Amino acid sequence: MALQPAAGARDLNPREVESNRWLCDQLAEVYRRWGYTEVAPPAVERLETLEAGGGITDRDVVRVAADEPLGLRPEMTASIARAACTRMAQRPRPLRLWSCGTVFRSAVSDSGQHRLEEQLQSGVELLGAGPDQASSADAELLRLLLACLAQLGIGAEHRPSLLLGHHGVLTALLDQVPAEQRTATRQALISYDPLSLAQLELPAQQLEDLQQLMRLRGEPAAVLEQLQRQLGPSPLLAQLADTLQVVTPVAQRQGVRLQLDPSFQPHFNLYDGLVLKLVCQGQVAPLALASGGRYDALMARFGGNAAGSGFSFAVEGLRELLGTEATAPVRTAATLVAFRADAQLGAALDQLEQLHRDGQRAELLHQPCASAAEAEAIARQRGCAGSHWIG
């Protein structure tokens, strides 16, 4: 009999579970305040849905043995987008939805063995905003993310950095590269691989411009100015500037550093507009705490004709950053109900349920207990708030 969980899976102790639940409850409070309602996508989906039209690769999906191609969800966006375009197609737009649950990803260890990565995720999806509402939807999403950080108490002391990119801007920059070189150029840029970039067969001036683009990241206004010099007047850049205008003051007040990086793209290739990643400084290394972006093309694959965007938090990363195992509110300890003889078991259970009706936590000591002092000693040993002995 195996005594350890599968590689990548974890046993959580009661305090870890309570800490995770507290973090999820804090986030849910913000989501609800902003008008989002909860949904619960299935943990098992058809591979066609999970792979999101090629946005998620087969190697990221944990397959399930079944008569049809199924897998465990590596994220929740694709499933929620599917449901929004089918079961919720008649609901008024935009849809504001949130979800919380475990996602499963396939990974390869350093030794080359496949392993399962299990993560608790909480996030939102804003679905159905029209094309002319993209800027306001992006602004809402980023302000909601900042509101979540404020609710959790994440501030300047955690050195939060919100990394922003834009798939459309990157595509416009790549349009200047010969078509046969665009895929390799894009891969070099998003992987920050200057060696691969230098090996491309491109004119010297174009290579120099791309090398500068690879290094172009930092304060949004300065990066936008450089992009405007490279691309000229652009509706995409104007829209991005409008979004940043209503986000930057709040980020500054909360001590969140905004960084614009035209070559940034998340791990999953789901997005075709604004993309984001939140990183904070942990005790040992930086922690990636949230990611997301706009995915209009994904909505179209499921038959939707309007935009979609969202983000998700890595809950256990939040727990590590904030140390909530120690700081999250602790539930009131239970009262131990004990009895002197077997004949008093019924009376002990009656007393237990009376305490429950009074709103108190209480648990039963199964074996008889000779005295009130012994019951109190056992209660202290078990971490109970006190004891009630029926003698």
pLDDT score, position 6: 76
pLDDT score, position 53: 81
Q: What is the pLDDT of residues 96-111, one digit of tens each?
A: 999 999 999 988 766 6
Is 78's pLDDT higher than 90? yes
**Average pLDDT of the residues in 201-217:** 87
Q: Tell which residue, 306, 324, 307, has the closest CA to residue 315.
A: 324
**Average pLDDT of the residues in 246-262:** 97
pLDDT score, position 107: 80
CA–chain centroid gap for 75, Å, is 9
We find that the CATH architecture of domain 14-327 is 2-Layer Sandwich (3.30)
DSSP state of 332: P
**Average pLDDT of the residues in 274-284:** 94
Is 114's pLDDT higher than 80? no
Domains of the chain, residue spans: 14-327, 335-390
**Average pLDDT of the residues in 265-293:** 92
pLDDT score, position 29: 98
Q: What is the mean pLDDT of the chain?
A: 92
Query: What are the angstrom distances between the C-alpha of 164 and each of 63, 124, 227?
Result: 32, 18, 14
**Cis peptide bond upstream of 94, omega within 30:** yes
Is 134's pLDDT higher than 90? no
- Residue 143, classified by CB atoms within 10 Å of its CB into exposed (0-12), middle (13-18) or buried (19+), is middle
pLDDT score, position 371: 96
Residues 6+ apart with CB under 8 A from 94: 126, 127, 128, 129, 133, 137, 306
**Average pLDDT of the residues in 281-294:** 94
Is 278's pLDDT higher than 90? yes
pLDDT score, position 74: 95
Q: What is the DSSP string of 309-330?
A: EEEEEEHHHHHHHHTHHHHSPP
Query: ∠ CA(336), CA(341), CA(345), 5° rounding?
Result: 60
Bridge-based pairing state of the strands 362-364 and 335-339: parallel
